[in-house]
Chain A
Amino acid sequence: MALIEVDGVGKRYKEDNRWLDVLQNVNFKVEEGEFLAVVGPSGCGKSTLLRIIAGIEQPDSGGVEFKGKRVEGPQHDMTMVFQTFALLPWRTVLENVTLGLEARGCSPESCERRARKYIKMVGLAGFEDNYPRELSGGMKQRVGLARAMAVEPRVMLMDEPFSSLDALTAETLRNDVLDIWHSPRKPTNTVVMITHQIEEAVYMADRVIVLSHRPGRVIGDLAIPIPRPRKGHERHPEFYKSCDKIRKLIYKK
């Protein structure tokens, strides 16, 4: 049984008094241990799809099953990394990371111990008592990652995690995320990442789901046969092949 099953998900919004189909009959599965990327042009409902998987939004048709159970609200075993980081400005780095742990009711000491461990893992040791406004964009997203990992979820959902960073920062952070993914100490063994960057999806994921322009439908599902660890594999022949395939799928009509 797959860990996550997206089963005929559809979603529509009302805009200026007419209905707009955002997602239409989206079907795919996510296996345990997989790094899955969902790629699509802007406005194809990728982020909506991720929020439906997370249980933050409800689909209008179809549904999502997680561990064999229908998702009807926020899930204990899934966390999320946001494009805009979504950090609380009045909390320090450490307090931002403990946010998710507090809701799970762990003791303050073990909360803090765990938070410090993951702050160190994302390379922010020494910044525990800084406020988000004192950090650069890349550092803020590291806090976002630490916060998501600290709850040690089975699934980590990432919503365009590198899109609001400049190109160089994004590249560094992508490699750091892959380093964590390849290390035996990783807290999470399943990732669903949304992106509009084809190269990013191919570089990082085991499998790429391609969504069409609005309304978003699945128009491609490719395994990426590039060996891991991936660092420096942007020159692998399979890298270009996969990117071309996805590009053709998106632009073909």
Chain B
Amino acid sequence: MRACWLAAAVLVVLIFAALSMPAISSQPVQSAAAEISANPQTAQLPYFIGRTLLRMAMAYALAVLIGVAWGIAAGLSERAAKFMIPLLDIFQSVPVLGYLPAALLFFIAIAPGEVGIEAAAIVLILTSEVWAIAFGVYQGVRSIPREYKEAAAAFGVRGWGYISKVVLPAIFPNFITSSILAWGGGWYFLVACEFMTFGNQVYALPGIGYYLASSVYGQAYNLASALFGLAVFIALVYSINRLIWRPLMSYADVYKFEALAVPGIAPPPRRALLPGALRFMTREEEVLALSVAKERRYLTRHLPSLHLPRVKLTRMIARLGKLATAVAIAASLIVTGLVIAWIVASLPVVSAQLAANPEAYSLPYFALRSLARIGIAFLLALGWTLVVGIAVARSKRLFDALLPLFDVAQAVPALALFPFIITIVINFFGASAPGLELASILLLMTGAQWYLLFNIIGAVKAIPGDVMQAAQAFGLRGWAFTRKIIIPSIFPGIVIGSIQAFGGAWNASIVSEYIYWGAIGQPYTVPGLGYFLDKSAAAGNTVLMVLTLVIMTSVILILNRTLWAWLFKRSERYKFEA
């Protein structure tokens, strides 16, 4: 059934793209196959897929190591959480893609050639993934019910025993949910990392994203290959979701605490970022009781031989934790100092660069252009996702029919769609300024809309049944029902989705304002921060790159601290009580 949807989705894309390309539609179909086999890289596809998977796996493994350690440390220690969580908040709101050129130049300087590019790619993908995992794990640790902590303490389970027997199993569902989010995000950056162009300089890594991008952006424009690559890509993403993540997700159910069973009261649904994440972070009481009892038996039997080393281990961990905290604080102080010193030292350099590149004085204007474009893309995305999301969540038939389609569509890394969107738009509107603006806005939407859609669907589904029935029983229906019940109920979900969508749009803005087209030997550009960043990277101008990044990061942080923080606070009063 789902495979049918997948095939249908691919077919729709194929037909659409074929229709928009007069050059292709006039040719017989078999020429597409010929074109694909003529591409010398097609034979290498299995190798490309292997390299892509290896790259993803390595980045993910590192992200898990760092993210889980970070999340557990912040979750267990209030003191650590005080600086780890705000840090997390800042890092995750910074558009990772903006740092791609800088990271690339840095790693190539250390290890020239493919090794450097590979290292930059892995670090970039890992950076995009680690925050979701750390945050999910942190929330998992924090939501261990107090009774379980007390039970563990009462039975003498402490230190490493507490972490391995209570914390690790308890965070498992959260860990899987956030891993799925992280992995999905990783695909996005993978495409960006495998084919990077700055000016006419191309940095490439063997991989499926490279195959896809080089077919369009490369010297020989080969749309058939690109479509074929897209289909392979979607199949790859989708089958990993089906074969690995979905089984893990249902396996994670075993580890959920059961909500306190008050007779006759249905447990209140929790709000979550995605429908798949509608979870009670809870695990069956018996499982824990059993493991705690086992632990206790073990301890009493082997006392004192085992108890002492355990206590030592606990102390050691505690000491290590303190040491790590101290090191982290010292390190962040040193880094801050270095950054300040560097800024002071580079002030004359910056002013010299500004004098040499007067276009840099337009950076505030570029920031406004980027922001305006993102705002328009966001409003368009919000419009359609609100209508579709509410309709889909409320109609069982639509939900069953469309969700698999969204599932597949979401699996398409938005960056992989860029070549097709640009091809289509430019075919219809030409490479004029309005055409390029439209293409850019559409590209931004691909990076933003799914967050909105899935948060809206999840939020509508999470409205308590009693509230819906009460509204029905009191005769509210139609538009009044939507306006008075649905919209306020899902307001927190809309805010969370909007924050994520804006983050996605910022990332997309970097790659949607400057697109180098190999076949015509020149870039398509629209004015904005992403444009200036790519242009500076192309010129190898580190100072201007950093300046652009500082401005972009500041704009994002200011927006987060003002608009989004305010909306988030406002949304509190719209939440149903648990």
Contacts and interface: CB of A to CB of B under 8 A. Distances in A.
Contacts of A160: 264
Contacts of A85: 466
B476 A80 contact: no
B472 interface: yes
A157 B573 CA distance: 29
A82 B266 CA distance: 12
Nearest to B268: A84
A157 B262 CA distance: 22
Contacts of B268: 84
A61 interface: no
B137 to A, nearest CB: 29
B78 interface: no
Interface string A106-138: 000000000000000000000000011100000
Contacts of B467: 86, 88
Dominant SS among interface residues on chain A: loop
Contacts of A102: 476, 480, 484
A132 B473 CA distance: 20
**Interface residue range, chain A:** 20 to 34
A84 B576 CA distance: 11
Contacts of B480: 102-103
A89 B577 contact: yes
Interface string A38-55: 000010000000010010
Contact of B466 (A84, A90, A131, A147): A84
Nearest to A76: B475
A107 to B, nearest CB: 16
Given A90-B574, A99-B474, A56 B469 contact: yes
A201 interface: no
A133 B577 CA distance: 7
B466 A74 contact: no
Contacts of B577: 89, 132-133
Contacts of B574: 89-90
B493 to A, nearest CB: 14
Contacts of A84: 265-266, 268, 464, 466
B472 A42 contact: no
B185 interface: no
B512 to A, nearest CB: 37
B278 interface: no
A166 B491 CA distance: 32
Contacts of A76: 475
A105 B491 CA distance: 26
A172 interface: no
Interface residues of B, number: 29
Interface string B441-475: 00000000000000000000000101101111111
Contacts of B523: none
Contacts of B476: 99, 102-103
A80 B262 CA distance: 22
A24 B72 CA distance: 52
Interface in B533-578: 573-577
B263 A42 contact: yes
Given A103-B480, A132-B577, A160-B264, A86 B470 contact: yes
Contacts of A100: 474-475
A99 B484 contact: yes
Contacts of B262: 164
Contacts of A80: 469-470, 473
A103 B479 CA distance: 11
A76 B347 CA distance: 73
A79 B464 contact: no
A149 interface: no
B485 interface: yes
A236 interface: no
Residue in B262, B470, B472 whose Cβ sees the most chain A Cβ within 10 Å: B470
A169 interface: no
A202 to B, nearest CB: 19
Contacts of A99: 470-471, 474, 476, 484
B575 A56 contact: no
B571 to A, nearest CB: 10
Given A88-B488, A89-B575, A89-B576, A78 B264 contact: no
A151 interface: yes
Given A56-B469, A78-B473, A99-B470, 15 more contacts: A51-B469, A74-B472, A74-B473, A79-B473, A84-B268, A84-B466, A86-B464, A88-B485, A89-B575, A99-B484, A100-B474, A100-B475, A132-B577, A160-B264, A163-B265
3 nearest interchain CB pairs?
A100-B474, A86-B466, A103-B475
